[in-house]
Amino acid sequence: MLDDRDITEVRYDVDKRLSMSIRVRIILGLFLLFLLCLVTSVTFLVMGSRINQKLKFMETVNFYTFEIQQARRYEKNFFLYRTNLPDALENVQEAREILRKEGIGITAVIGPAKLNTMIGHLNRYENLLDTLKTLQTRAPENVDSFSEIEEELRRHGAEMIFTAVNLVDQERKEVEEMSRWYRQVPLIFLAILLVMMAYLTHFWVRQIVRPLNRFADYTLRIARGDFTPIKATRRYKDEFSRLAIAINWMMDQLKKNQEQYIQSRKMAVIGTLTSGIAHELNNPLNNICITTESLIDELEGLPDTEKRKRLDDIYTQAERASGTVRNLLDFTRMDTPSFVPVSVHELISATLRLVRHEMEINNIELKYASEDTEAKIQGDFSQLQQVFLNLIINSIQAMPRGGTLSIQVKFDDPEFVHIDVTDTGMGIPQSILPQIFDPLFTTKEKGTGLGLSVSYSIIEKHGGKFSVKTQINEGSTFSVILPKYKE
């Protein structure tokens, strides 16, 4: 029984737990994936930009080195042949222009200190070339002065070449290392992505799929009528905890509504039963009273034949009242069935033998089909025969102008036997269909309204199911499902 205290305890137990929403955790997981993609993308962009920057730097330094090498070649020509000094100065100017234009890019790669060192050597080299040019103009015969400048000039020229080549080699190694990492980053990203996807999959299965399966089991349990409160099994409060509280509240309301419905149905059945009993007993008793009263008043003047006739009427009405009482006793005092293996084919055949004459009189064609004539069910033969006898008689009465009665035994389910009794009669109106299994409900003038209700009770006690499908002017099919006999 569902208790309000149980629901309150579950709610209190959930409310005092730490709140950790599944939605927040899903968003956090997706944010981590986004962050991983963002970091990877930024890493690619930064590494690509750095590699391009270094490649640009190497190209610039190569141009710079070429100009310096050209200047040094002209420098050698000057000391050998006293020619090409202006050409050397022109190459130095080109080298200076390269450093000026690409100064920002070079600074970003090697820093301002190394760039200033390169510029310092270039300035000193250019000054020495200017000095040579001046000396050549003023004192071309002063060879000793040229020799003093030549040594320093070659030292600065060699230093510029060495610095440039060393920088290019150093940056080439860094580019190769960065390129290696650049190729490895996708693999690292893929590995991390797989780990995160595995974790998120595990998280979603554990945090979402499993609880959903558990709540699906809860719904099946509720459908079977078990309203035991759902206990919150998680260590924190989330959407499923609130769902458990909501389902507990729903079960409480269902239980209360079910109890109210059952009570109202009981009262309705009692009302129908009382009304039916009053009607079924009042008519014969009223007839007995009227006949008895007339017999008393006219007793001395009536001939013996009339007296016997009226006494027969009284007896008939008394038997009618007695029959109503017997039917009520059969309905309220159902004997406990004696379960034994029962052959389905023999059960149906024996029942049909009882109504064979009735079917011939009413021009009823029989169609009987069974997939397995050896199949057995566990049940009480006489009670089950009462059920099928009642169904067959009802079908015959539903076809006053004749028709076809079909009985089909199917074994589609390995655990149950499915027996359909179908007629081609008038059908049952949808408005009264929910009431046909109620006691004392009948649409027949001479019916007691107990046949289907007693049959329904018998089938339930046998662990089976009873259902009906009907169509106006086409007929009805009553389906009985009974458990198979297990040896």
Q: Average the pLDDT over 200-216 and give the result.
A: 80
The helix/strand/coil state of 156 is: helix
Sequence length of the chain is: 487
Residue 92's CB is within 10 A of a number of other CB atoms, namely 25
Model confidence pLDDT, tens digit, residues 330-380: 555 555 667 788 888 888 888 888 788 788 888 888 888 887 777 888 888
Name the average pLDDT for the chain. 78
Q: Is 419's pLDDT higher than 80?
A: yes
Model confidence pLDDT, tens digit, residues 462-487: 888 888 888 888 888 988 888 888 77
Listed by start position, the domains of the chain span: 22-204, 234-333, 340-483
The helix/strand/coil state of 111 is: coil
CA dihedral 339→343→348→349, nearest 10 degrees, is: -130
Structure-block tokens of residue 420? 């359909």
444 or 129: which carries more pLDDT confidence? Answer: 129
Q: What is the predicted pLDDT for the residue at 183?
A: 81
Q: What is the predicted pLDDT for the residue at 170?
A: 86
Q: Please state which of the ranges 5-19, 106-120, 312-326 shows the lowest mean pLDDT.
A: 5-19
Fold of 340-483: Heat Shock Protein 90 (3.30.565)
Region at 111 (left for phi over 0; alpha for psi -120 to 50; beta for the rest): left
Look up the pTM and report it: 0.42
144 or 412: which carries more pLDDT confidence? Answer: 412
H helical segments located in 16-84: 22-81
The helix/strand/coil state of 188 is: helix
Phi and psi at residue 409, to the nearest 5°: -110, 120
Q: What is the predicted pLDDT for the residue at 272?
A: 56
* Confidence band for 244, pLDDT divided at 50, 70 and 90: confident
> Is the alpha carbon torsion for 320, 326, 332, 334 positive or negative?
negative
Q: What is the predicted pLDDT for the residue at 22?
A: 72
C-alpha dist (Å) from residue 476 to 354, 424, 479: 22, 7, 10
* Confidence band for 274, pLDDT divided at 50, 70 and 90: low
Under 8 Å CB-to-CB from 281, ≥6 apart: which residues?
Answer: 321, 324, 325
Match domain 234-333 to its CATH number in 3.40.50.740, 2.40.128.130, 1.10.287.130, 3.90.1200.10: 1.10.287.130
Q: What is the predicted pLDDT for the residue at 1?
A: 46
> Is the alpha carbon torsion for 293, 297, 300, 305 positive or negative?
negative
Q: What is the predicted pLDDT for the residue at 252?
A: 77
DSSP letter, residue 373: T
Q: What is the predicted pLDDT for the residue at 344?
A: 86
Rg, Å, the chain Cα set:
54
Model confidence pLDDT, tens digit, residues 46-105: 888 888 888 888 888 888 888 888 888 888 887 777 788 888 888 888 888 888 888 888
